[in-house]
Amino acid sequence: MTRILVVEDDAFLLEVMCSILESEGYEAIPAANGKIALDLFVSTKPDLVVSDIMMPEMDGFELLEAVRAIPIGVTVPFLFLSARTERTDVSRARTLGVDDYLFKPFDAPELISAVRARLDRRRLVELFDTRAAHLQTVTMLANVIETRDPYTAGHIDRVRRIAINLAFALQWSPEDIAILEFGALLHDIGKIIVPRHVLAKTGPLNSEEWKLMRQHPQAGAKMLEGVDHLRAAVPYVLYHHEAWDGSGYPYGLKGENIPREGRLLAIVDAFDAMTSDRPYHAGLSAEEAMAELRRSSGVYFDPDMVKTFISSFRGE
């Protein structure tokens, strides 16, 4: 549960704010002044601080400065509540690292809106900091996998770029798109179990080779399930060979029973395969590939996603 440290010397207002936050499912930790709040901050490690400015013993400015001096407090969102509107107060608060400034009197929706905005912002910052920290390693791993298949050079990066564009067109959230990037880069990681001579084969695969190839989604998913920050990308790896009509693998899922991650990546993966030169076929033009997607819409691919893909690719 999200913890919010609420600091206010007016006992009635403190109780009201805690009740409002608790009614929204948050855990409210009350403190009557900055000194008490600082001790509670260290012991409870809240996700957000909502604090008055003018308080006895330790005011809001002193509390904010003390919180920012603690390593765990550097990134915790801090929301000031105050009846004072002098520019110097606002300027000082910004200098000390306050995240927002809500003036009294305020109503319940204003408080909840401010709290949600700060928590959402923190979640995004943490998500993209984590993403930046891991992206280079994931890219390196994806490139190692790709070098085992000499006929798909550049495939992974192209799939990543096209998939992100489609997700934007589908109005996916920034968090979902960040996960998508990992999923697109790692969608073929399971091919590490496939012998190089099978990956490099220029002719049709025999039944045993095809059976082995069809195992790569499950093998890749199993690899990622043990990595906390990559687990959310598993659906891209596991379901990108499922087909809308149920003829895909590994589970033969049908229609919207296929997670949307797999439905999106199936379209992008097929488009790149069709437009790339391979030993067994020359690459199609983008228009020819889109015509193939349209013909397979509702058969192999999600028809709504195909429409969006074509429209966004053409810039319509």
Give pLDDT, residue 120. 79
In a domain, 220, yes or no: yes
- Are residues 99 and 192 both part of a single domain? no
Give pLDDT, residue 137. 66
- The residue to which tokens 């000194």 are assigned: 35
- Are residues 208 and 282 both part of a single domain? yes
Name the residue range of residue 84's domain. 3-117
Give the CATH number for residue 21. Answer: 3.40.50.2300
- Are residues 49 and 193 both part of a single domain? no
- Are residues 76 and 198 both part of a single domain? no
- Are residues 50 and 152 both part of a single domain? no
Give pLDDT, residue 269. 95
In a domain, 87, yes or no: yes
Question: By the 8 A CB rule, do 291 and 186 touch?
Answer: no
Give pLDDT, residue 89. 58
Give the CATH number for residue 292. Answer: 1.10.3210.10
- Are residues 166 and 18 both part of a single domain? no
Give pLDDT, residue 36. 95
Question: By the 8 A CB rule, do 64 and 98 touch?
Answer: yes
Give pLDDT, residue 98. 62
Give pLDDT, residue 5. 96
In a domain, 137, yes or no: no
- Are residues 195 and 73 both part of a single domain? no
Give pLDDT, residue 103. 79
Task: State both tokens at 231.
Answer: 């687990």
- Are residues 218 and 169 both part of a single domain? yes
- Are residues 24 and 102 both part of a single domain? yes
- Are residues 162 and 110 both part of a single domain? no
Give pLDDT, residue 71. 85
Give pLDDT, residue 88. 53
In a domain, 123, yes or no: no
Count CA atoms within 13 Å of residue 2 on its CB side: 20
Give pLDDT, residue 142. 72
Give pLDDT, residue 175. 82
The structural domain count of the chain equals 2
- Are residues 167 and 280 both part of a single domain? yes
Q: What are the pLDDT tens digits along the chain (316 aa)? A: 899 999 999 999 999 999 999 999 999 999 999 999 999 999 999 999 999 988 888 988 899 889 988 888 888 888 888 775 544 555 565 555 566 667 788 888 989 988 888 887 777 666 655 555 566 667 766 776 777 776 666 888 899 999 999 999 999 998 899 899 989 988 998 988 888 888 888 788 899 999 999 999 999 999 888 777 788 999 999 999 999 999 999 999 999 999 999 999 999 999 999 998 776 677 899 999 999 999 999 999 999 999 999 999 886 5
In a domain, 125, yes or no: no
Concatenate the DSSP letters of all residues of the chain into one string: --EEEEE-S-HHHHHHHHHHHHHTT-EEEEESSHHHHHHHHHHH--SEEEEESS-SSS-HHHHHHHHHTSGGGSSS-EEEEES---HHHHHHHHHHT--EEEESS--HHHHHHHHHHHHHHHHHHHHHHHHHHHHHHHHHHHHHHHHT-TT-TTHHHHHHHHHHHHHHHTT--HHHHHHHHHHHHHTTGGGGGS-HHHHT--S---HHHHHHHTTHHHHHHHHHHT-GGGGGGHHHHHHTT--TTS--SSS---GGGS-HHHHHHHHHHHHHHHHS-BTTBPPPPHHHHHHHHHHTBTTTB-HHHHHHHHHHHTT-
In a domain, 133, yes or no: no
- The pTM of the whole model exceeds 0.85: no
Give pLDDT, residue 260. 98
**CA gap 37, 30 in Å, rounded:** 8
- Are residues 109 and 152 both part of a single domain? no
Q: What is the dihedral of CA 122, 125, 128, 129, to 10 degrees?
A: -110
